[in-house]
Structure 1
Amino acid sequence: MSKVEIFSRLHRGRTPDDPLVLPGPWDAASARALAEAGFPALATPSAAVAASLGYEDGATPAGEMFAAVARIVRAVDVPVSADVEGGYGLAPKELVERLLEAGAVGCNLEDSDGGVLKDPQEHAERLAEVRYAAGDQLFVNARVDTFLRGVHDPEQTIRRAALYVAAGADCVYPIGAPTTVLPLLRSGIQGPMNVFAPLDGAGPSPAGLGELGATRVTFGPGLQRRATAALREIAAGLRT
C-alpha cells in the first residue's frame, strides 16, 4: 500500500472520540521526534516552516518551502502532508509535480490571498485542476478562510466547502471556526473535516473536537512556537 493510500485510510471510519491527530513538524529533527512519539502521519504548517527558515509567515520562497518539505519527508517513514499556502502562483500541474517530487502525500491549499477571500467558484476550478493533475496521488485539504477573514456566517463556509468537495477536495478545513459552530459545519459538510486546536489548553482536547465534528486535528505553528519559547527559557538560564 502506498503512503498516500495509508494517509487517506487514516481519515476513514474514525469514531467521534478518535479524530486523526496530525502534529506539525518544521524540520527533519522535529519530524523524527513526532514520528518516534507514535503519530501515524504528519502535516507541515507553513508558518512553522517559514519561522525555521527565517521568514515571516507567507514570505517563504516556493523553492525553499518544497526543499524543507523534502527534508522532512526523507527524515521519517510515515506519510507527510504539506501546507503550501496558496500554491505560490504555480500552475496546478507544476504544483502537483513539485509536491510529488518532495515526497508529500497531500497538501493544504488556502482560499484567500493577501488577507482577502478568493472567489469561491474560481478557487473550486483551481482545486479541480489540481485534482485532475494529481489523480489519486495526493490528498487535498481545502482550507476555507471565511472565519479567518471576518465572515462569520456558517452557511457561507458550508457553501464554499460544498464547491471544494465537488471539485475533488478530500477534506475541508474551516480554519478559525468557533467550536460552537462545529456541529453545524459537520452537519453541512460532506467528507472529512480538519479542525485547528490551540496548544494553550483554552479549547477542547482533540477528542473533544472529534465529538464536535472534527475528523482530523492540526495545531498550525503551535508546536514550533512552544519549542522556541522553551529554547528561549533554556537560553536565559545559561546566562545566570
Structure 2
Amino acid sequence: MPDQWVKFKKLKALHEGDGAFVIPNPWDAGSARLLASLGFEALATTSAGHAFSKGRRDSCLGRAEVLENAAEIVEATDLPVSADLEDGFGPEPETCAETIRLACDIGLVGGSIEDATGDGAAPIHDLSQAVERVQAAAEAARGLPFLLTARAENFLWGRPDLDDTIRRLQAFSAAGAHVLYAPGLPDIAAIRTVCAAVDKPVNVVMGLAGPTYSVAELAQAGVRRVSVGGSFARAALGGLMRAAQEVKSAGTFTYAAEALSGATIAGLMSGEKRREPG
C-alpha cells in the first residue's frame, strides 16, 4: 500500500492542478472498491451514507464508529482518502485537534471540520469559536500528511447569508485550513462569488437538493474539488427501494437486468478471508 505521505502529496496535487476534480463519497469498503475501479483519483467518506448503512440518521454516530468505518475505506483501496469528520465530535477546540490526530493515525490524509453545532436552536458556532476550532485542527495537522477542509454550514441550517459565509471561509483560511467548503450554496452565481472571495481551493457538493452543474461549469466558476456527499448512497438506496417495491407490488424481478453481475462484483472485492481471533 502506498506510503501515507505519497497519498497526501497526491491529494494536495489534485487541489493544485488545473480545473476541478471529483472526489466521490463511498460509505463503506465495498463502495470504495467500486468507485476506485472507475478511475477516480481520491475518495472522501460520507457521514450521511455511513449513518444510513447503520440504520441511523446523519450525525448520529460517534467518533470511534466514524473512524472505524474510515479505516476500512482506507484499507480497501490505494487511493488517498479524506474524511467527513462532522463537527469534530465536540465543541471544544482540543476535541477537534484530537479528532485530526486520530484521523491521521488511521491513514486518512484529509478531513473536514464544520462550524455546525448540532443544536437546532443555535445551529452555528459563533465566529470566534468556529475559528478557534479550525485553528486547533490546523495546528494538529501541521507537520502531518493531512489536508484540512473547513466547512461553513450556514446554508444547510436556514441561514442563507452569503456575506457571513464568505467571512467565515476567509477566517478559516487565515486560521490554517487548506480547503474551504460551504455546502448548500444556492446557485452558480453564489459559487462563483465564494471562489473569487477566498484564497484556498473550494469544494462544492453536487447531488443534493437544488440546481446541479457539470464539472466543467463548476471549474469555470473557480471550483477545484467536487464531492457528492451522501447522494451516491441515496442513489443506491433508491435502487434497492425500487427493486423491492417491484417484487412486493408486481411480483416481478426485472430489476435484476440492471444489477451488477456477481462476477463483476467478485472481481472488485477482496478475496482475503477474515481471520478469527484465538
Q: TM-score range by the shorter chain?
A: over 0.9
Percent of counterpart pairs with the same letter? 37
**2:202–2:224: 8 Å Cα contact kept in structure 1?**
yes
Looking at structure 2, the residues matched to 200 and 165 of structure 1 have their Cα atoms a distance apart, in angstroms, of: 27
Higher relative contact order (CA 8 A, sep 6+): 1
Kindly indicate whether residue 132 of structure 2 is the aligned counterpart of residue 125 of structure 1: yes
Question: 1:111 — aligned with what?
Answer: 115
Question: 1:102 — aligned with what?
Answer: 106
Which digits, 9 at most, give the CA deviation of each residue in 1:38-85, with x for residues without a partner? 000001111111111221111012111110000111001000100010
* Change beyond 3 A, Cα 1:216–1:102: same
Which digits, 9 at most, give the CA deviation of each residue in 1:74-110, with x for residues without a partner? 0010001000100112624421222022211111111
Query: How high is the TM-score relative to the length of structure 2?
Result: 0.80
Runs (5+) with no aligned partner, structure 2: 252-278
| Residue 238 (structure 1) shift | 4.1
Query: How high is the TM-score relative to the length of structure 1?
Result: 0.93
| 1:29-108 map, 5 Å | 29-89=30-90, 91-108=95-112
| Residue 150 (structure 1) shift | 2.6
Q: CA RMSD in A?
A: 1.7
User: In terms of Rg, which structure is larger?
Assistant: 2
Higher mean C-alpha displacement, 228-237 vs 36-45: 228-237
Kindly indicate whether residue 230 of structure 2 is the aligned counterpart of residue 221 of structure 1: yes
| Residue 202 (structure 1) shift | 4.4
How many residue pairs get aligned? The number is 237
Question: 2:269 — aligned with what?
Answer: none
Runs of 4+ residues deviating >4 angstroms: 199-202
Question: 1:160 — aligned with what?
Answer: 168
Kindly indicate whether residue 196 of structure 2 is the aligned counterpart of residue 181 of structure 1: no
Higher mean C-alpha displacement, 163-172 vs 125-134: 125-134
Looking at structure 1, the residues matched to 104 and 161 of structure 2 have their Cα atoms a distance apart, in angstroms, of: 36
**1:121–1:163: 8 Å Cα contact kept in structure 2?**
no
Matching residue's letter, 1:221? G
* Change beyond 3 A, Cα 1:149–1:200: closer
SS of the aligned residue for 2:154 comes to coil
